[in-house]
Amino acid sequence: MQTDSSFTFVLFGGTGDLSMRKILPALYEAHRAGMLAASGKIVAVARHEEDRAGYLQWVNEHVKAHVAKSGIDENAWASFIDRIEYVKLDLGKAEDFVKLRDALQDQSGTRVFYLATGPSLFVPICHALASVGLNENARIVLEKPLGYDLRSSNAINDAVGEIFAEEQIYRIDHYLGKEPVQNLLALRFGNALFEPLWRREWVESIQITIAEELGVEARGDFYDNTGALRDMVQNHLLQLLSIVAMEPPHSMDSDSVRDEKLRVLRALKPIDPRDISKVAVRGQYHAGVIRGTSVPAYATEHGVKTDSATETFVALKVEIENWRWAGVPFFLRTGKRLADRVAEIVVNFRAVPHSALGASALRAGANRLVIRLQPNETIRLYCLAKKPGEGMNLSSVHLDLAFDQFFKEGQMEAYQRLLLDVINGRLALFVRRDEQEAAWKWVEPILNEWAASGKPKPYAAGTWGPAAASAMLAQHGTCWLEEEN
């Protein structure tokens, strides 16, 4: 389906890594699929001394490698390149924004300003746009991290909010655009089968994991001042938790969905600083081996302080204080240099109250739902079935929703979906300011306690993190999914 109307997509940080790896490949895929209005234009903005031809050569060299598995259609690529313009812009020069305004004068339709820059530039860019009248009939996309804590996040939101109305601001979290997350909503709210079970009476525990094999790569300076709690928990993990735990919205319009997510975030049980050691584990990777390759310790990575106390791993036990989820533990986990690259949600249902079929029917996790977000996107329902042969011997089997096998259409990448939503003015999959504030308020006691305490627990690269993360689950009679398997 084509976008509703003409647009101009202005990409600040147009030569940056995010633009090359995610944003321009996503726009190309939308273009190739016929989802962009023919009159839509892309204007890349950066400080590099390039003309349009030089920038397009840069795009050819750096974007094609990141296009999806289907590869490049050269005809589609040529017509996509025709959409792109380039404007050299120095944020410190007001006259450069006049030049940008002049470059956009002949463009019709909605203007989208995508800030693929560091958060320190968000406010200066917004003020400069307003100074030349470019904040009217416009939408602005803000990448994470939006601030360092609640105070700095509010400062950015206050400043941006003076220039753009809340309905113009799109705070992007790409995990919300992933196909399995969308299918989780469909599964819950489109089928009578799961809704009666989606509550404390039938759910034993829920795990949400985002694990990476990669280290900090070239982001050592950034990451050492951020850490896993700010980089992943405050946004991605809490957003996924709110999607899993939310009440059914009365419709799928933007505020109905976000109102329900907000209620979950506000219902998170506050963490008493005295209890943080019991419900929160932080770790930092040391040297180890991943898939046969030796990798260095975090403290020796480029840009990282040798005595750094920054966490590269976080595991949390979270509780939601409402009628649906009271008493059900949610275990959140994220880390770098772990044993595998995986993002998944695991819903462990309670065992049957009595079994005439033997002890296997009473074991925890006999019935579970696993929503895999990456690397392959699937939803798998585990249950028990009789093994062939004599006797009533039960074995775990699973039912798969493998999207690539069932649906002929190719799956839409998260950034592609979210960029189309921005262009078409759909806010449901973007984070509202009050959601962001609620998330920061909940994580701040942990941030403050860790800032005042000792170093993170060490774990070897290529493992699943500190042993304390497994011990935390063991106290509740459960384990992480990979430990059971």
Known binding residues for NADP(+) are: 47, 90-91, 144
DSSP assignment letter at 171: E
Strands (E), 90-172: 110-115, 138-142, 169-171
Residue 197 half-sphere exposure toward CB, CA atoms < 13 A: 18
Binding residues: 47, 90-91, 144, 174, 178, 212, 231, 336
Strand partners, 253: none
* Cβ-proximal residues to 316 (8 Å cutoff; 6+ apart), any chain: 233, 279, 280, 281, 331, 332, 333, 446
Among 379, 378, 329, 331, residue whose Cα is nearest residue 350? 329
Binding residues for substrate: 174, 178, 212, 231, 336
CA angle, residues 234, 14, 221, in degrees to nearest 5: 45
Inter-residue contact 28 to 77 (CB < 8 Å): yes
* The amino acid at 265: L
**CA dihedral of residues 297, 331, 152, 120 (deg, nearest 10):** 50
Annotated catalytic residue 236: yes
How many angstroms separate the CA atoms of 237 and 232, rounded? 6
* The amino acid at 290: I
Longest CA pairwise span in the chain (Å): 83
User: In Å, how far are 14, 19, 197, 413 from 99, measured between CA atoms?
Assistant: 16, 22, 58, 34
Q: Of 48, 62, 127, 236, which is the active-site residue?
A: 236
Catalytic residues: 236
